[in-house]
Amino acid sequence: MLIATLLILLALIGLSVPVAAALGWLGLAVAHFFTGMPIHRAIGDIVWTNSIEFLLVAIPMFIMLGEILLRSGIATRMYEAMASWLSWLPGGLMHSNIGASALFAATSGSSVATAATIGTVAEPEMHKRNYNEPLFLGTIAAGGTLGILIPPSINLIVFGLLTNTSVSELYLAGFIPGLILAGLFMGTIILACLYKPAWGGDKTKYSWSERFSNLIHLVPPIFIFLVVVGSIYAGWATPTEAASLGVVAALILAAFHGTLSFSMMKDVFRGTMRTTAIIMLIIIAAVFLNFVLTAIGLTAQLTEFIISLGLSPLGTLLLIVAFYLILGCFMETFSMLITTATIVTPIVVGMGYDPVWFGVLLMVLLETALITPPIGVNLFVVQSIRSRGVLKDVMIGALPFVLTMFAMIALLIAFPQLALWLPKLFY
């Protein structure tokens, strides 16, 4: 049943049926053929109960925060500041792509927003400085994935909501792995450019006075990060309230820089509403499908089947990792999170693994899917901002970073404390 459900879902998405519609119709079909319950009468209650969840209000707030940073010019100035400090490394501005992505991820909570914003700023420099195009584009796509791991992350909020896991602990757990992964990305760039120095493009030189003067442009994103994350761990605000505080802080900064205007806010609201509507439709449809699968006992039967295989906890975990890596080649990451988290997480927790640790591991697996052909969303985002070239260039450039993520997955499995040390320290 599970395999058939996933195959039908993949077929519908492959036929370009919107993800929310595919999930909703699939839930109705399974309910009609495999239950005698009038499940359609419960749809209204399911939609209402889940759509009024206070935690979900954080999603449009974080989306709006990213929109304000992009349209106010704060993101552009942040990239220039990162470039002045990191461009001396082998690979030059490619390190700025990673560093700026990590910093933007710490304010926006979205991988797509991170890749689109940093890509828009960085892409013109690629042609000016004669960088190797595939590798340069790969750094933008890979750097963008940090948006769902480094807090505040929209995906971690959704995972916490679906699995009843503390979002505050998940945020703490994402810090160290996020920074390590950003460091591994930069290490990959250095190795590639030491192997082929020409890939590193023309050096961009900055004086020390320029570097220190540019530090002021790093203050706004750091300030917003401290407002959002600091208010959570100081006990002043919930994640939803902290997201709202972040929006207020971003508006104040936009006004300070003189970029706050009616036309800017019109674009901000339009972009926020469009993205929020898409995400909320997917969440509600996926919650309905999960309700149906649980009602027919599929979740319990899947757990029993995996236990009956007689694998060790590590063997079962590796099987689940392989499942996500394969599924990530064919399914959009947010849909993958929504449709599988409530099924897989109880199995993993039942084997004795920490749900907070698994949430971080799952985010890295989803990050891998973001740059894995043929459905890697960040690959399409980066291609969409290019002025020329084919998608294959982006795919080739992202491949080394897929291998880097495999290394990060192995590190998390071998050393769970990378994710659990901070949560245990605070709680």
Residue 13: what pLDDT?
A: 64
pLDDT classification of 38: cutoffs 50, 70, 90: low
Name the more confident of 338 and 176: 176
CA distance 105 to 66: 9
Phi first, then psi: what are they for 354, rounded to 5°? Answer: -75, 130
Question: To the nearest 5 percent, what fractions of the chain are helix, strand and coil?
Answer: 80, 0, 20
pLDDT tens per residue, range 342-369: 888 988 998 899 999 999 999 999 999 8
Highest mean pLDDT among 11-25, 294-308, 377-391: 377-391
**Hey, where are the domains in the chain?**
19-426
pLDDT tens per residue, range 270-299: 988 887 787 777 777 777 777 777 677 766
pLDDT at 238 over 70: yes
Chain centroid to CA 371: 11
pLDDT classification of 234: cutoffs 50, 70, 90: confident
CA distance 182 to 222: 17
Residue 300: what pLDDT?
A: 66
